[in-house]
Structure 1
């Protein structure tokens, strides 16, 4: 099951717009009903106004109706075992559960599987802001 999510992230990475950093990234997430939402990083000449692949995938997920996220895959063309940046860890924590699986990938496939709790043990949700 993780392999098809890796492939979706890899296909998204191929569409990245990264002319400045030359660091394409792809991400894909799966909901419990099997839907997959993918995204790539999109840079902007007004650094740091671009956005990450995870952010694009989450935007697609929201526009697609949301749902419980069960798995996430992240890949970067030039980095083995790419993990989400700090901001994206918090963005994912907003929509994932502590036991959501995150697949850290290289160009050949999944290198390591961690959980959201492993990646961001002190993440918080918006309910604390009420």
Structure 2
């Protein structure tokens, strides 16, 4: 059951935290693309934001596996740091080149910020769903 919660936490964190910060970046003129992209993507033709949220759910399961059992500040920092580094590295080193997208210092920094905030969202949703009751480290 906890794995389903981790998937849901990652999915929701993508829609609320990741795309929420993306809205802020967009309104501030930092990124040219609008958030909540509804353009269909192959192979199933689902909206891009839902595809992103699906992969956010898978990454949520990875976060739970690696840092879900930590306590106190380590729980929160683990989610933020691993959330920032893992998905960003895969996006910049694998996904962007496969799609012919430019990788720059700005995309790295933006990815680290967006995905770190997403990682925080995963941690928050896991606590809200009762999958985790953070305690202070002993």
* Structure with the higher fraction of residues in strand conformation: 1
> Which protein is richer in helix relative to its size?
2
Report if TM-score (shorter chain) is over 0.5.
Answer: no
Q: Please tell me whether Structure 1 or Structure 2 has the larger radius of gyration of its CA atoms.
A: 2
Q: Which has the higher contact order (CA 8 A, sep 6+)?
A: 2
TM-score by length of 1: 0.31
User: What TM-score, normalized by structure 2, do the two folds share?
Assistant: 0.30
